[in-house]
Amino acid sequence: MEEELKPFVDWSWCAANPGTFVLADSRWYLDGSSGKDAYESGHLPGAVFIDLDQWLSGPASPGAGRNPLPDPEVFAQGMRDAGISDADTVVVYDDAGGVIAARLVWMLRSTGHKAAILNGGIAAYPGGLSTESSSRPKGNFSSRAWPAHLLADISEASSTAYLRLDARNTDRFEGRQDPVDPRPGHIPGAVNVPCRGNLDPSGQLLPELQIRANFERAGVESAQNIISYCGSGVTACHNLLVMEQLGMGQGKLFVGGWSQYSRAQERPVATTIQPDAPL
């Protein structure tokens, strides 16, 4: 029986399975810097570039947030153009320890495709980088609806029936600053589990026991009744995939995140860490 692919793989796995996966570069930057420029300056040999703004996000709006999910056909077209087919296994990397790559991996896995984050990102590759553009024959990737059971809307994200995990850095969670959204702070009752806290200084996942302890301190022992959010549904995927890696199951993604919630003026905002009632 074929072994199940976990959400994170080490480069040793890639080296042991040559020719069995598509390598994808999904670098993207909140400050607007070009991921494509970074790719062209140097990427892992053979990797294709997937543009988050073009293929992994729909049009931004106050009611949907900065990076809503795209129409499924748009996503499918982006995968086909990159040479990715339904049967392919995709290993995705970035230069941020996987917190950006998580978006593409979550989108693929949630629609039934095989995908994983390269643990440690581009720095995990032991060889030299390439500046040659990589191309593959057009793929036959099918359009599939986004799974409703893995998504949360703003009403669910506001509900105390769920434990809401905020994946942003603590300064943004506490409302000390917010460079991109109109109201600083967090959803009342949410707990802060910064996705970058899952990583060591090199961008590798921390040991499992340490990550599990970080989640347990936030009251998380299972992904059941968990909603993960961030600024706009990108890095929140990292916490979801880490929980899945640890065998906790699958939580829900609030894609609109703080970029949607903070623009809903009727919704209350918290700017200090709030104690959470037990579920």
Q: Which residues are catalytic?
A: 230
Contact in structure between 187 and 158 (CB atoms under 8 Å): yes
How far lies 188's CA from each of 31, 46, 108, 217, in Å?
Answer: 27, 45, 31, 18
| Separation CA 260–CA 257 (nearest Å) | 6
